[in-house]
A and B are shown apart, each in its own frame.
Chain A
Amino acid sequence: MKRNNLYTPFNISLAERGIYDFTPEVFDDGVIISNMFCDFLFLSREEFFEFIKNGYSTSNILLKNKLLENRFIYETKSSFIETSVDVYRKLKSFQFVGTVLHIFVLTLDCNLKCTYCQATAGSHNCANKMSVYVADISVNRAFETLSNIIDIEFQGGEPLLNFPILKYIVDKSNAMAKQRDKTVSFSLITNLSLLTDDIAEYLAINNINISVSLDGPKDLHDYNRPHSLFNRSNYDDIVRGFSTLHKYYASSRGRISAILTSTKKSLSRIDDIIDIYEYFNLDTISVKPISQFGLAGHNWDKIGYTPSEFGDYYYDFLKKLLNRNIANRSGIVEYHARMFTQKITNKTSINHMEFRSPCGAAIGQITYNWNGNVYTCDEGRMLAALGDDTFSLGNVFDNSYDAMMRSNKVQAIANASHLESLPDCSYCVYQPLCGVCPVYNYSKYGDLYRCIANDYFCQMRKVVFESYFKILFNGSSESKNKLTEWGNT
């Protein structure tokens, strides 16, 4: 180990060595480097010092090709800049399309009382439902977006408790999309407890994507997601619901997927969870930590975990999924790992609101509450449910889409989530893949900008990235190949 060399300042002249901007971080026995083009490389310590010392002039041809291919060194500056512009532009193209995701909160009522509910739902008093009047104006506002593609997502509470309004919004949006030459798609987040044949048929005909909350086997799922009024099993609802959906979705363009929420009890149940997802023929699992909003914060002792516990869980989850893929036992992919691969290998502009810089608040997504109030994002709406209206942009009656987008709040949030200019984040090797949540920062620290390296949010992100790169760089060749293949699915 050449430890003594480490303490000497590098004192390098980058331009002379054809080295471009990069971020280094110690990773296992070597160094991981990244740049603004979402290129990542793992170098041994010897390779890293050779790179720093000689840059483009290195005599190690293998290393040189690797560095050139990934834009860490260049031969001539002008042609490097010229060819890199479009890669960067492609990665950031989500910034130029306007708000794509429009979340409609059809009701706050819910027939479940989930242990981690972020929407602080659970009531069943029929008072908090979106009216036709609010729905009508909200759709008009949604169609004021600059984006030619509009994705309307129905959320709650349980949105099927207000199915007539869902139908109204779908029918009106389809008509408006035709008039204005836009493309509209729909997603429904549901617990399936209220699904009937008529509803399933309507959803299938209108190609509505279905996202079912499914936490794993019956005991785990029902522990996390108990009914609020009746002593019945939501898992049984899901079994019935999937069978009804499959009847009608055979010829629909709508996709059926599921959302996994992992609690403390999930950590030791990875195989059981994957088995259930295979049983229901699902093709994706999104393994993400619970957010601390709403009831989750109150129940943290019962359901929460530390970042290192979650990191071990995520790493084992990825390994088990990849092993099943390699053995052809399963075709299920992990959502985040696929997204990272797509960004790294294809430079695809992934419009995932939580993993982009600036974050998607208002400029990527907008939330219309049941009563017509508009929020930057669903997290902003959740905070409002707890009594803090900071992330309100106004309401659909008084404020146009344009006026809301030009508000100081939207600018402040975009600035606060711009990782490239946040002190801790800008120097982080994982920054090209990451994103921050100003609502989280504000609710935890009372400050939009207070993004502290190594706080809970940051640590949760880091353990996920570390697990992913541990497999991508140091895993078996089959695992690496499979992970790379996921980027093309």
Chain B
Amino acid sequence: MVTSFDFDETTKPENYIFNIVTSNNDFEALHHHIMERIQFSYLRYEISQKTRTERELIIGRALYRSCVSVNEEE
């Protein structure tokens, strides 16, 4: 069982740091865990790229409406 896994990708790729603690040396579970983490990171990146326009529209309109209502109150 993987009890702790830390993947520091803030440094250069050649200096990736893995810090792994397992309680029973289950390397199949470890492999699964690592691949899942990498896949989720990739998925998160992909989603964030593909929904950028929608996010900008929502944040922009929210900002606009808030500024308009502030001016109306004044």
Near A by CB (< 8 A), chain B positions 3-22 give 6, 10
State which residues 1-55 of A face B: CB under 8 Å.
Answer: 3, 6-7, 9-10, 12-15, 19-26, 36, 52
Number of interface residues of A (CB under 8 A): 37
Of chain A, the residue at the smallest CB distance from B55 is A21
Total residues of chain B contacting the partner, CB 8 A:
28
- Any A CB within 8 A of the CB of B1: no
Is A15 within 8 A of B32, CB to CB?
no
B65 / chain A contacts, CB cutoff of 8 Å: 85-86, 89
Task: Please encode chain B, from 10 to 54, with 1 for each CB lying within 8 Å of some chain A CB and 0 for all others.
Answer: 100000000000000000000010011101111111111011001
Q: Count A-B contacts at CB 8 Å.
A: 73
| B-side contacts of A343, CB under 8 Å | none
- How far, in whole Å, are A84 and B47 apart by their CA atoms in the complex? 18
Given contacts A6-B32, A12-B46, A81-B58, is CB(A21)–CB(B51) below 8 Å? yes
* Residues of chain A lying within 8 A (CB to CB) of residue B50: 13-15
- Contact: B58 with A84, CB < 8 Å? yes
Task: Verify A85–B62 contact, CB threshold 8 A.
Answer: yes
Q: Are B10 and A452 in contact (CB under 8 A)?
A: yes
Closest to A52 in B: B43
Compute how far the CA of A36 lies from the CA of B32 in the bound complex, rounded to whole angstroms: 28
Q: Are A88 and B58 in contact, CB atoms less than 8 angstroms apart?
A: yes
Chain B residues whose C-beta falls within 8 Å of the C-beta of A280 in the assembled complex: none
Answer whether residue A454 sits at the interface, using C-beta atoms and an 8 A cutoff: yes
CA distance A13 to B49 in the complex (A): 11
Considering only CB atoms, which chain B residue lies closest to A92 in the complex?
A: B62
Name the distance in Å between A252's Cβ and chain B's nearest Cβ: 31
Query: Would you call B57 and A22 a contact (CB within 8 A)?
Result: no
CB distance from B51 to the nearest CB of A (A): 4
Please give 17 more A-B residue pairs, beta carbons under 8 A apart, in addition to A6-B35, A21-B47, A85-B58: A6-B32, A7-B35, A10-B39, A10-B43, A14-B47, A21-B51, A22-B47, A24-B40, A24-B44, A25-B40, A36-B55, A81-B54, A81-B57, A84-B58, A85-B65, A427-B44, A427-B45
Closest A residue to B38 using CB positions: A7
Q: Which residues of chain B are within 8 angstroms of A6 by Cβ–Cβ distance? A: 32, 35-36, 39
Which residues of chain B are near A9, meaning CB under 8 Å?
Answer: 39, 42
Is chain B's binding surface mostly helix, strand, loop or mixed? helix
Q: Contact check: which of B39, B61, B70 meets A96 at CB < 8 Å?
A: B70
Is A446 on the interface with B (CB-CB < 8 A)?
no
With a CB–CB cut-off of 8 A, which chain B residues contact A85? 58, 61-62, 65
Q: Hey, which chain A residues are within 8 Å of B51, CB to CB?
A: 14, 20-21
Is A60 part of the binding interface, using a Cβ–Cβ cutoff of 8 Å?
no
Q: Does A77 sit within 8 A of B, measured CB to CB?
A: yes
Q: How far is the CB of B1 from chain A (nearest CB, A)?
A: 13
Known: A14-B51, A21-B55, A96-B66. A7 touches B61 (CB 8 A): no
Look across to chain A and name the residue whose beta carbon is closest to the beta carbon of B59: A88
Asked if A21 and B54 make an inter-chain contact with CB atoms under 8 angstroms apart, the answer reads yes
Within 87-111 of A, Cβ neighbours of B (below 8 Å) are at: 88-89, 92-93, 95-96
Q: Are A454 and B55 in contact (CB under 8 A)?
A: no
Can you list 11 A-B pairs, Cβ within 8 angstroms, ordered by A?
A: A9-B42, A12-B46, A21-B48, A21-B55, A36-B58, A81-B61, A86-B62, A88-B59, A88-B62, A89-B62, A427-B48
How far does the alpha carbon of A7 sit from the alpha carbon of B42 in the complex, in Å? 11
Residues of B within 8 A of A84 (CB): 58
Q: Report the bound CA distance from A92 to B61 in whole Å.
A: 13
Q: In the complex, how many angstroms separate the beta carbon of A424 from the nearest chain B beta carbon? A: 8
Instruction: Provide the residues of chain A in CB contact with B70, threshold 8 Å.
Output: 96
Closest to B32 in A: A3
Bound: A95/B69 CA distance, A: 13
Interface membership of A475, Cβ < 8 A = no
Q: Within the complex, what minimum Cβ distance (angstroms) separates A360 from chain B?
A: 18
Give Cα A184 to B48, complex, Å.
42
Tell whether, in the assembled complex, residue B44 and residue A77 are in contact, meaning their CB atoms are under 8 Å apart. Answer: no
* A469 vs B24: C-alpha distance when bound (angstroms): 27
In whole angstroms, what is the CA distance A387 to B44 when docked?
A: 42
The one of B36, B42, B58, B62 that contacts A26, using a Cβ cutoff of 8 Å: B36
Chain A residues near B43: list those with CB within 8 A. Answer: 10, 24, 52
Given contacts A6-B36, A36-B55, A81-B57, contact A23 B44 (CB under 8 A): yes
CA distance A7 to B43 in the complex (A): 11
A429 to B26, CA, bound (A): 27
Q: 4 closest A-B pairs (Cβ-Cβ)? A: A21-B51, A89-B62, A85-B61, A14-B50
Bound-state CA distance A13–B46 (Å) is 10
Q: Which of A426, A427, A452 has the most CB of B within 10 A?
A: A427
CA distance A80 to B50 in the complex (A): 16
Whether A423 contacts B10 by the Cβ 8 Å rule is yes
The listed residue (B6, B44, B54) touching A20 by CB distance below 8 A is B54
Residues in B whose Cβ lies below 8 Å from that of A36: 55, 58
Determine the chain A residues whose CB is within 8 A of the CB of B45 once the complex forms: 427
Chain A residue nearest in CB terms to B69: A96
